[in-house]
A and B are shown apart, each in its own frame.
Chain A
Amino acid sequence: MTLPLPPASNLHAILLVTKSHSLGRRLVFHYPPLSPSAAALAAKKAPAWFGNETSTGSLDSHSDSSDWDSSTENDGIDDDVEVGSKTSAGRGSGRTSHRERDKHRPASGGWEKQDSIDEEDRGIDDSAIGNGYGKINGGRHLKGGEHDWSTVLGFQIDALEKMLCPHEAFNKRRFELGVESTVFVGAPMFVRSDGLWKKGRRKKEKRSPDQQLQAKDLLANLKSNDSDEDKTRGERSGSTSTEPFVYPQGFEPGYGHDMSIAPSLAVSEAGSDARTNSTTEVGRPDMEMFNVVFVLNPPALEYQLRVKEMYDNVTRKYAKALKYEQARFQYVWKESKKIIEMKQRARESGESLSTTWREIIGSSPLAKSIAILFDAISNDKIAHIHFDATFNTSFQIPQADSTPYLPNALEPQMPGLWLTTSNVAIEEDNDAVLTQHSALLLLEDAETLVKELEGDSKGNATALAFYIRNIVPTKSLQKISIKHNILAQDMEYIASHLVYWRRARLIPPLHPRDTYVVSPNADMSALEAAIPSYSSRFPTLPSLPKIVSMLSGTPRPYRTFIPTNEHRESYMEILAWLMRGGWVTQLRSFAWVRVTADIKAQVAAEMEREAHLKRTEEASRRDTSDSDSLTESLFSDKRSSFLAAGRPSTPMRRPPRRELDDEIMDASTILSPRTAYRGSPARPASDSGSTTSTRTTIPVPQSSGRTTSPSPAVPPQIKAPHRPSPLHLKTTSPSRNPLSPTHPLSPNLPSPPLSPQNFTASLVLSPQKANSLEARWLEKIGQTFKDQEVREHWPMLLRHLDGKHALEDVPSREGLKRKRVAAIVTGVREAGWLVVVRHW
């Protein structure tokens, strides 16, 4: 689990390159028409993720830090001039202005869904007009660089064409070419040696696994008909939040999928068959290869992550979709020829780039899809692409919707990101069950979503609308599906789908008895805009600042803020609204069992008795004493004399390497560190076993027990980009050995004086993985409860007392009444058996 990075595609251009027999290598299309030069991209600074920018915070003096020598851009340009190319040094400056817009990043973590939908709508309208072919844009306005037909990204087109047409070894593999800090990521697709773009139908049985996979993917794409809800199930494989989804039985009829699949499949087969015939007649196809190349300039430290994200989620999938279309209708090549022709005409008649581009986009669906893709992805939105009447799909780079870690002042900030642990998967849990207990918080109003569906789907939206209208954030999916008689799998499918496409979030069901606080990660810069939209939504209720102020004081259950019962519903709506915007988060309780000295003494006494019984039994069986018992008694002697010295037995420190769990090791580890500690109390750091502290704390001349700063383990070498600060503790850190829960006293260690003073209270960190001694302690604690109910549920409760499961989740997970669980927890807590901490 790492701190998520703010979404930033760093996308700067998309290029389409083809290689054909008739035309050779051609850069068919690039978008945007006026691209920044590579040198300008290289000079770009890393984005500022840190809240309010300060005036003095700019890092002009730090160009060395970004690791891309800023002088190189100048060198590059100089060289160009030297070489005598037409590229002028001024070109870069003339073009960067166009890219200003892309520099602008949405301030909030990217929750603006509405925009992406607008995008889609516009896209459809435009394509409708564009298909008319007759759209001529007469507006000619000339700008600088508008007539520069010979370079793209500051490179001569022919040079670029050569670079972006890779060797056939790259077929269906990642093509990654870096030029300075700019990287060209592509997924080259080559025609098969038999001249087909995919294997014919008759050979279907013999498909290679790779192609089978691809076909599956395409089928999945196919299933995505117009409705927003049913998009590209295949793409979900890239999703991090959802598990591999099992197709629910009986799902298809519910959504009318069969309706959409059959015709489209038929069309596709027909199309490919027709095409197959035509190609076999003509011979080998003209186009050998096409490569869609995405131009990125990620910061050096995020390079791997950003490139991978782009390739896995967009580049590869888009290329596959194009290949599919190519296989069906020669789509790519037909469109390419059209675009090339248009460009040629415009170039001869001296038109400007942007006018021409507008024309091209208007008449070529391929060019249009590239433009839509670029506009959406470079703004971290979802791109809805309409390829043809039967094939639509969407592309996005998935974004984190929550984080358990609050970034500190040194880390990249993501204001507005929902702060919670409720989305953190706990290893031993079954996620499917978890989803059922979550509620779905729609990030848009249900009616907006429904309208969206009705807008672009044909008829099957009514069923979906029914589901969506019934989703409430206060009820778990399980409850909703029971109440409305919806199949649980359907519910889950819709949920995962909505979550993946950023329309909803899974949250613990909102409840008035739960406690909510203002999230420290709330995006206060969005407040000004939020106030009016809140007040138009809840005009008669307290204003947003007032509500936020109320929830920011001492944490109280939410119901205490609700004035009357009549207000309950509207107040819950407010809460949902606040959750949606990341303003508030639920305060959840996590607990561990605290074992008191008393219990330990009792258990130890019991065990002593048992051991004694056993010994006498054995002794009676065979009278001879062997060497084992001798050593044992030897140790017990030592130990008792040690304890007799009157020091409390507080074995607080366990040396880290304690693998051998035998008696001798136990005895020695308990004895030695303490004597050492006593002998030289001034240097505890050296024997504490925490090597980090000795190494990284300030090397004080005279050793002191009081270190000057708490070992903020400064990594001597490079740290991986943007994981939670190495200073921090990690709850989910795997480094902690789960098999070493505290058991300061070995069970079979004889300790004669068994009074509580000789023990100290400690925590049982993970009751599920308790060792035998801990289990006995827990059992003993269970016996102390007077209340029958508490005693009965103690083993159930123990499952949740590991500091990872929130107590608020107990009722839903165990299927108990909220009140009952609350009473049990209170009972246990008041008896002093719990250490409880509350955070999100």
Chain B
Amino acid sequence: MIVSDFSVDECADQLACDGLRLNVGPFWCHIRSSLPLVAAHIYQLYPDAIIDQDRAFVDFPIQISRKSGTRGWVKPLVEFTFNGNVPFTPLSLNQSPALAEWGINWCVSAHAHQYLILHAAAVEKNNKAIIMPAPSGSGKSTLCTALVARGWRLLSDELTMISTKNSMLQPLPKPMSLKNESIQVIQEFWPESVFGHICTDTLKGSVAHVKPPAESVQRSSEKAEAAIVLFPQYQAGAALQLKSKEKAYAYMSLVENAFNYHLLGSHAFHALSNLVQQSDAYELAYSDLNDAISQLELLVS
């Protein structure tokens, strides 16, 4: 059964009562929430995710709920609860979809140490995966979403999970997160895209999520092999420029963007060494998404 087998009301009822046992990549989340915004978010952006209400074992028990207290009368706040703990400061009600997404990302990055986890986007085409580690603002998510719009398989837009056993990439095809100007850029670039609620005034500005293609979700147990480490750099008006980078640079940049490199010790060192050995590294300066995509299509052809 998948989420879209429910009606929107059934989905909301399940979330509010027993909770929804939802498959996300290799994990099962048990999400409880009586907030209509959260129900709408899951219904719109996870329609192809498998649900199994009879499942006995779940990885992440999650609750997203109104914070109790008198302050809620003036400005309603929502909090994210994992396993009975509240790991973040509460956000305003309007930001609850973003809180749900960040919360699930945190569950993964704080616990799933069987993987080396990078703050990076990853997409795949022709059995060649591109990893894009990048600081916020480099256009990583925009480029990732644009590639997905053109038929690339989404592995993950935020957390790239690398197996410490064989350096293969484990997909985590969650909704893609876009910020500020890139929301409009993608709405124009990909008119058929499905957007969730736009959360305004978050720490990162306005944030909206885009539904991943059904195919990416269905193939989430199919691991991918890294072929390219790409450092995208959006520069308004710049001509397309692809520059080869040294492997050592790629390695160190990946370490900088890793959540648990030091925690994993030698496991991480070997996994990342293999990955960088087998990959080419490039820096890509671009201003036009179509140009960038054509260039990357060439690299994986």
Q: Do A and B come from one complex?
A: no
Binding site for B on A (CB under 8 A): none
